[in-house]
Amino acid sequence: MYAAGDAARLPRGRGEHWADAQEQGATAARNMLGQDVAHTTVPWCWSDQYGLKIQICGSLVGTPETSGDPARHDAAISFVHDGALCGAVCFNRPKEFRDLRSEIARSEDGPETVKARPV
């Protein structure tokens, strides 16, 4: 049996976001089809609130570093812990968000790896 989305609980907890449901579903499907792949994506979510696109990824721990102006709905806030980028919150900066999420995925520790397996 496989689980994905709101029904799934990973070691880091439950995501309960659209993006988690999509990406976990893709990992579960690959394993159902016989591939032996781990779920290694950096968790993220988004929400559109009128003219404001909010995107969040990784772990929001450590020291926040802000570029731009959150009050003007144009900013990126990076969270650095032990010298490594581990999380980000972006307001109306989708391209920067993609770059930050990729950087987190490449970080030395890497994202949490969860082996999809039958339970």
Ligand X SMILES: Cc1cc2nc3c(=O)[nH]c(=O)nc-3n(C[C@H](O)[C@H](O)[C@H](O)COP(=O)(O)OP(=O)(O)OC[C@H]3O[C@@H](n4cnc5c(N)ncnc54)[C@H](O)[C@@H]3O)c2cc1C
| Contacts with ligand X, residue ranges (CB under 6 A) | 5-7, 16-19, 21, 45-47
- Closest to ligand X by CB, 59 vs 80, is 59
CB 18 → ligand X: shortest distance, Å?
4
Separation in Å, CA 74 to CA 59, 87, 92, 104: 21, 17, 6, 21
Q: Map tokens 């010298």 to a residue.
A: 83
Nearer to ligand X, 15 or 111 (CB): 15
Shortest Å, Cβ 53 to ligand X: 10
Q: How far is the CB of 9 from ligand X (least distance, A)?
A: 12
Query: Where in the chain does DSSP place strands (E)?
Result: 38-39, 44-49, 52-58, 63-69, 74-81, 84-91, 114-115
- Nearer to ligand X (CB atom), residue 37 or residue 45: 45
